[in-house]
Structure 1
């Protein structure tokens, strides 16, 4: 169904004045005017709408707005869903402006792929723990440019040399002259910004490296923070969609006679994704959906059970797959080994289960459309909305909202939620406002999971116990194949499927890693730390098994095996051993200790877990964590992300799985069947951040991969049982 001409034909093309050019290789955009503002949560909206001058304040570039009251608002191009870009990126600007932290504010940048692209991706989006890494110099340059303009304005106003002016804690001074930023904003707006302003050296930092309070904490604590669920428009209808219970099924027909009798239900419409119910309230929409009768065509659906899929994946692993990495003689050294160690690791589908499920608001007007959603990839969501509605790009405004978690769930390469939102609005038949809501059950049963994966591991030892070969075959679905990210495939291989099993820091002279792609209608997606979440587990648990067979200490054995160029790996491993007081004793007073080391997203993490047996399940008491993420912009945020990653990863290895029953239906529906880690199960976590002058790298994901293998290695030392199928709760039932 296409939008009626009564409203579609009246959407007018707006002239959007864009004055911008790149001021440096880091991507600094200078001299920008954005008439359209991200109005949903933008105190900087007036500045955006009125340009760089006037009562709204001073906008020296695409990232900074200086208001007359001296507040500095930083437009953040990365979505904030708890991982800290509002605080981290604003810190970079404040550092170079010599601003006081109390005057800093942060808000989401509007959807604009050209201006706010992720420099690692080439498009606007958040993921891969790249927010700080790609923005580090860009935001510092933006802050330095703003400072230079304010200093130049002061020099001009006061008639003094720029070199004699000082800036400290948001005050610009020279002798008897002193001013805040706001009073100089109008004059600064008329000056030409520097193309490549110098930035501070590390020894000049006053804010970078300190524990600054997060900018979004107060609003999230007092309830003023605006999430998509908080957005209400006049006359807005709430919409829920009946999706098929089996992946790949489609609507064959439906009966809405009972649904339309539910008080508050306005309409029922079929869309490509299922059957949409429109109502005046969420309660009415859900009641209406429950009253629907839908016939599903399951001819193209996934009907295998989880157990059937594991068996087929296991068979594919035995066949070796495509070669992803080869070193020395590959796996051939295993053939003549005196001893062969083997293990097959099985990892289930996993849901992301963020606290806020998917939701979005769309308003169709006579002159355009506006959308509010926690968009992790505006570069993909906006074109999808435009195409779905059949409107001109310049008439659709996408406002990026705060989101209650993601862990990869909102980073949709298919933009499937934006597509569904557009279809819901289009099917309504005219102007109006619509809030599309997925329930927890919709999300847990709606797919886009971490791929079900099998690792087949083999290693050979000679008569003296030396390694003669290492073989790892990874089997799973590709996240990238067939979608917009397919361009990232490498010779038919999806590197996210096996990342972390290749390019390991260990000196394994004879090694082979293979990958076997599998197909299924079950949609898969990146999950916090993507491939590293299973490769880190398989490689570090299996390596521990090999070291045990060699009679070696788990820490010293790893240190001895590290390559000469793996200095950062060595440093975090030595540090965590020191933190935990590692003395080679794996058992002490009824508790066992396990270690794991893994690098992901260019961040190096080592962890040691202290574990006891509590009713046949691991009880994790303490976790020591050493991390090297380059320059620590905000140590408190880094510690929080390591702690959060440990809790997230621990819950997944202990309890979490999405399983398909015979016939293909998902068995889990909510937190009663998809068990989360409970607060009393969270271990005490000690984090040490290694001092580094390297450029900062990501911290949102790297804390996850080591916790599972560290716990499992401790559990094996404690009980003699090796867990090669996750989660623990299922494996220990056997």
Structure 2
């Protein structure tokens, strides 16, 4: 990776023949580099096998399949001949090795296609040279170069192609010529998952490594005062009990042994911060809503005058609780700190953060830290952090041995990083003609910073608008949770817009469309969403669901992570109980690379959004989470999952985000549908808390 281009190509050719191409992504045009600094690469062996590396973390979003599909499309190969390999962290070779923000495909779509197109051009040049014909007269198909009835496989041409100059300007396929993009392709890891082959962090094993579990403070706001570990150290298989920072690590030869030993360690704690309870949070949230001090996020027009002159004012408040991430694979990581460097292996959404934070912790150069990514059994934002990685690295440095730190489910839920608890207050002003002339939103929460998205719809559609926020620090650790902020804000905003539409005597869908028309004709301040894209998903969802023909439907639409999703939820009453029976979703995420994977992303997001809106709740008593496993934390059940009808908008643009955008609208469409059936507005999540007699 440090050799020059010519040396690199010669090395590739000498390894049994074949073609190995590297592509640097940091250039916006993804042009190949000649200084030995590469990114995503593909290898072509003499037998015609194509090996494509996928550099981004695989967290279940199917990126390990989608990325190679993009390379393979413009390379024009038979997908059956493609072998996919997970690349390790390499910040010299790769850019944005992150699973978060629904940005992987959007960032890499053009870069990866150009990587495949460049290799294809070199292979055609090699064939044209052998046949002594113009390269423009050659074509390709499924891993072969063709000309006038003759054909050569990529494998036959790979070694010759490796000696050619790398073209800097290539032409990508026209979309009409796509053979792979837009087709449903099975997840490349499916066979290994079904057969139980080692893929995940919990599967990783290294001969001679130790296992560790860590006892963290039993409540947020406590710190370790003293530790009595003599009984634990005497138990079979226990190697050591180590106290570092605010943790007590039990280290041994198996997970069962360290788990049993942890139960007998005696730890005394002392208070270092307030031990917060849910009752405290509710009181503080109300104080923040009523505070005279807030950070203004956006202000358009004359809000005070609009409300003073209003013919009708609508007010509502909405609240959501703290939520754990609950990936099915709890946190875990392997670390081996050696004198010559550090090896890290495990499931992380941010491998570069894991490396830089480890280097900082151990006071070494980041170049001395390697990170190998395993497949993740869920993340939802929890694995954007590196705290569990640092635990493994620091522990390995202290015990001078390779160690794998494993969290239990109770560790994951009881000492994790949660979605913040947030409350919103909305106010709307209508004039005598029931036009929306004023809009206020205040968002308040703990450790959340800005709890609003001040530039999202209906901003820009209301002439007089004020959005502000208040934040308060808490000892309870918080962090990004799938579709950060918008996962609850969308429910609150879309529920409130339905309330305003009802007060104005207007159909909810028509009301939103009219606001979008107003934003386009006479924008009030900056418009930072695409009006036409939002209108298109609204109209598609309404059409597919037969909006207006049924009285049991609720509507919601939202823009997040560069994509637009509208949903219509249908609620049926069975034995006197309202049940979510069907959800129609219209999605504009640009071009869909893999329809199968894309549909699963949408369905999974909707199920996630529905389940947590209905049931998810994490409460606290004196700093201790009251729900620590699935026996007390309610998840959606298989029998409660509705039929989901997914439709994608084909608008001709390149892909945008998809991992998160379908979750935010779900809560609003469900709440609005339940109102249609029962006449009861649900303003607090989980809905089951207010609706127990019907759920």
Counterparts in 2 of 1:53 and 1:295: CA distance versus 1, 3 Å: farther
Give per-residue Cα distances to partners, 1:45-86, cap 9 Å, x unaligned.
xx9xx7565227432113222233322222222211211111
The match for 1:722 is 681
Contact residue 616 and residue 732 of structure 1 kept, 8 A: no
The match for 1:58 is 19
Measured after TM superposition, the shift of residue 193 of structure 1 is: 1.3
The match for 1:694 is 653
Structure 2 residues not aligned, in runs of 5+: 23-38, 521-529
Give the distance between the partners of 1:522 and 1:52, measured in 2 at CA.
56
Comparing 416-425 with 53-62, greater Cα deviation is found at 53-62
The match for 2:404 is 435
**Residue number among 428, 441, 447 corresponding to 2:416 in the alignment:** 447
Counterparts in 2 of 1:304 and 1:75: CA distance versus 1, 3 Å: same
**Residue number among 535, 547, 560 corresponding to 1:582 in the alignment:** 547
The match for 1:3 is none
Contact residue 668 and residue 674 of structure 1 kept, 8 A: yes
Give per-residue Cα distances to partners, 1:380-427, cap 9 Å, x unaligned.
111122233344433332101111111111112xx2122111111112
Instruction: Provide the alpha-carbon RMSD of the alignment.
Output: 2.2
The match for 1:521 is 475
Give the distance between the partners of 2:87 and 2:218, measured in 1 at CA.
37
Measured after TM superposition, the shift of residue 478 of structure 1 is: 4.2
Instruction: State whether structure 2 residue 80 is matched by structure 1 residue 126.
Output: no
Instruction: State whether structure 2 residue 265 is matched by structure 1 residue 292.
Output: yes
Measured after TM superposition, the shift of residue 618 of structure 1 is: 4.4
Comparing 330-339 with 102-111, greater Cα deviation is found at 330-339
Give the distance between the partners of 1:73 and 1:730, measured in 2 at CA.
52
The match for 2:500 is 546
Give the distance between the partners of 1:705 and 1:435, measured in 2 at CA.
36
Contact residue 454 and residue 467 of structure 2 kept, 8 A: no
Measured after TM superposition, the shift of residue 722 of structure 1 is: 1.1
Comparing 332-341 with 697-706, greater Cα deviation is found at 332-341
TM-score, length-scaled by structure 2 = 0.91
Instruction: State whether structure 2 residue 43 is matched by structure 1 residue 83.
Output: no
Structure 1 residues not aligned, in runs of 5+: 1-15, 21-30, 35-46, 119-123, 480-493, 587-591
SS of the equivalent of 1:410 reads helix
Instruction: State whether structure 2 residue 667 is matched by structure 1 residue 708.
Output: yes
Contact residue 553 and residue 584 of structure 1 kept, 8 A: no
Instruction: State whether structure 2 residue 24 is matched by structure 1 residue 17.
Output: no
The match for 1:654 is 614
Give the distance between the partners of 1:53 and 1:273, measured in 2 at CA.
53
The match for 1:311 is 283
Contact residue 618 and residue 715 of structure 1 kept, 8 A: yes
Measured after TM superposition, the shift of residue 627 of structure 1 is: 0.5
Contact residue 231 and residue 265 of structure 2 kept, 8 A: yes
Q: How many residues align?
A: 664
SS of the equivalent of 2:503 reads helix
Contact residue 337 and residue 461 of structure 1 kept, 8 A: yes
Contact residue 238 and residue 257 of structure 2 kept, 8 A: yes
Give per-residue Cα distances to partners, 1:132-152, cap 9 Å, x unaligned.
100111101111111122222
TM-score, length-scaled by structure 1 = 0.87
Counterparts in 2 of 1:282 and 1:222: CA distance versus 1, 3 Å: same
SS of the equivalent of 1:706 reads helix
Give the distance between the partners of 2:456 and 2:246, measured in 1 at CA.
38
Counterparts in 2 of 1:329 and 1:115: CA distance versus 1, 3 Å: farther
Contact residue 252 and residue 295 of structure 1 kept, 8 A: yes
Contact residue 53 and residue 59 of structure 1 kept, 8 A: no
Give the distance between the partners of 1:659 and 1:32, measured in 2 at CA.
61
SS of the equivalent of 2:160 reads helix
Counterparts in 2 of 1:51 and 1:446: CA distance versus 1, 3 Å: farther
Give the distance between the partners of 1:709 and 1:463, measured in 2 at CA.
27
Comparing 612-621 with 227-236, greater Cα deviation is found at 612-621
**Residue number among 445, 449, 466 corresponding to 2:435 in the alignment:** 466
